[in-house]
Amino acid sequence: MTQQRALLLSGSIGMGHDALAAACAAELAARGLRTQTLDAMRLLGRRGGSAGEAVFRAMLSVPGLFDAFHFAALRPGSRLALLADAASSRQVVPRLRAHLDEHPADLVISVFSTGAAAVSRLAERYPAMSHVVFCTDVTPHRLWVHKNVDLYLVTSAVAEAAVRRFEPDARVLVMPAPVRSAFYVPLVQAAARAALSVPPEEPCVLLMSGAWGLGPVAAAAEALGDAGVHVLAVAGRNARLERKLAAAAARQSRVRAFGFTDAVPALMAAADLVITSSGDTCTEARVVGRPLLLLDVVQGHGRDNLQHELELGNAAVTSPGTADVLRGALAALDRAKPPCTGPAASPVAFGEAFAAALATIGR
């Protein structure tokens, strides 16, 4: 029997899309499929991909600008959003078609809206190929939803309704979000703290804000340290923030600075509270059993995702000013309960749900 092939279409804006693609690829490989992942941003071409990320960063840097674009254009699918979608597809479709002609796939999973649009436009060329769209945003915007999609995977009932806003007859399944296996390994807080030289009885927080390190991470870290809180501060891939955190750690001994690191499970185990923006870290903190203080710094879809995290409970929100973060963190630490001693979710839940979902379309 010929080994089936799966193609994952991701997008290298932040790390969330790539992490989701990697989780799907691992489950597919475990079930005998040969997998490959393509970056839809690269399929835009060298200039197109760089320009796309630059525009996104620039919009985020202006207060309210991406909010306006997301809620007024992307979410309802305005003419401006549809024109942008068509323009990106004109670049992506020929390159994706050439790849699929040379490397046929039985299954394509799009975890980035640009990829979903391109596959939809090519579906009739490959009638035997199944197309799955997987979105972890609580409110998928219009450009996530297209014709020629066999199955949508989402992580909340709200997201299911958002998809059906545009395709009422769509096949949509609600899934648990994937979490890296390291977060399911029980870590005793005392041991984690000893490894990091954090005193066992003193308050400690993990402070991070995604791969881009958005918000007042360095200033908040130093303010928390000055207030007597041990701070494990992670810069992600933000080199400028990493330098700022190193300087803060040099001034304040309670601050420990990290760049991009795989040690987040251990850092989370050592902490009493996780301060972060809406994203994958929230799901990871829930598995480890740590309360959340959410930084309201991600515009657009980030506002939706933050509201959903509050609805799930064991979370509070703070405005991004340094004084606000300090007050919110101290109050959250006062409310924090002793940490749980094991994972708060099953490590096999995602894999089982993912396999069951694909079985509904014969994969």
pLDDT 10s digits, 237-251: 999 999 999 999 999
Q: Is residue 12 part of a domain?
A: yes
Triad 121, 125, 126: Cα angle to 5°: 105
Strand, helix or coil for residue 356: helix
Q: Is residue 342 part of a domain?
A: no
Query: Domain total for the chain?
Result: 2
Q: Say whether both 173 and 188 belong to one domain.
A: no
Q: Say whether both 226 and 174 belong to one domain.
A: no
Note the pLDDT of residue 342: 65
- Phi and psi at 298, nearest 5°, equal -100, 115
* Residues contacting residue 41 through CB under 8 Å, at least 6 positions apart: 11, 12, 13, 49, 52, 53, 114
Percent of the chain whose pLDDT exceeds 90: 85
Note the pLDDT of residue 54: 83
pLDDT (mean) for 100-114: 97
Helices (H), the chain: 16-30, 40-43, 46-61, 65-69, 79-102, 113-122, 157-166, 189-196, 217-226, 239-251, 264-270, 280-288, 301-312, 322-335, 349-359
Q: Which of 35-39, 184-188, 324-328 has the lowest mean pLDDT?
A: 184-188
Q: Say whether both 107 and 130 belong to one domain.
A: yes
pLDDT (mean) for 67-84: 95
Q: Closest Cα to residue 142, out of 233, 76, 62? A: 76
Q: Say whether both 124 and 238 belong to one domain.
A: no
Confidence of residue 15 (pLDDT cuts 50, 70, 90): confident
Q: Is residue 340 part of a domain?
A: no
Checking if the pLDDT of 108 tops 90, the result is: yes
Q: Say whether both 325 and 224 belong to one domain.
A: yes
User: What's the whole-model pTM score?
Assistant: 0.92
Confidence of residue 160 (pLDDT cuts 50, 70, 90): very high
Please report the DSSP string for 129-149 in residue order. Answer: -EEEEE--SSS--GGG--SS-
Checking if the pLDDT of 329 tops 70, the result is: yes
pLDDT (mean) for 92-99: 97
Q: Is residue 341 part of a domain?
A: no
Checking if the pLDDT of 49 tops 70, the result is: no
Checking if the pLDDT of 53 tops 80, the result is: no
- Which residue segment(s) compose the domain that 169 sits in? 5-179+347-359
Note the pLDDT of residue 1: 60
Q: Say whether both 167 and 190 belong to one domain.
A: no
Q: What is the pLDDT of residues 260-306, one digit of tens each?
A: 999 999 999 999 999 999 999 999 999 999 999 999 999 999 999 99
Residue 44 CA to residue 36 CA, distance in Å, equals 18
pLDDT (mean) for 65-78: 95
Q: Say whether both 128 and 151 belong to one domain.
A: yes
Q: Is residue 132 part of a domain?
A: yes
Note the pLDDT of residue 341: 65
Q: Say whether both 160 and 197 belong to one domain.
A: no
Q: Is residue 297 part of a domain?
A: yes
Mean pLDDT, the chain, rounded, equals 94
Q: Say whether both 115 and 31 belong to one domain.
A: yes
Q: Say whether both 192 and 202 belong to one domain.
A: yes
Q: How many CB atoms lie within 10 A of CB 308?
A: 18
Residue 14 CA to residue 251 CA, distance in Å, equals 30
Q: Say whether both 158 and 216 belong to one domain.
A: no
Checking if the pLDDT of 236 tops 80, the result is: yes
9 forms beta bridges with: 38, 110
Q: Say whether both 153 and 188 belong to one domain.
A: no
* Residues contacting residue 1 through CB under 8 Å, at least 6 positions apart: none
CATH code of the domain in which 243 resides: 3.40.50.2000
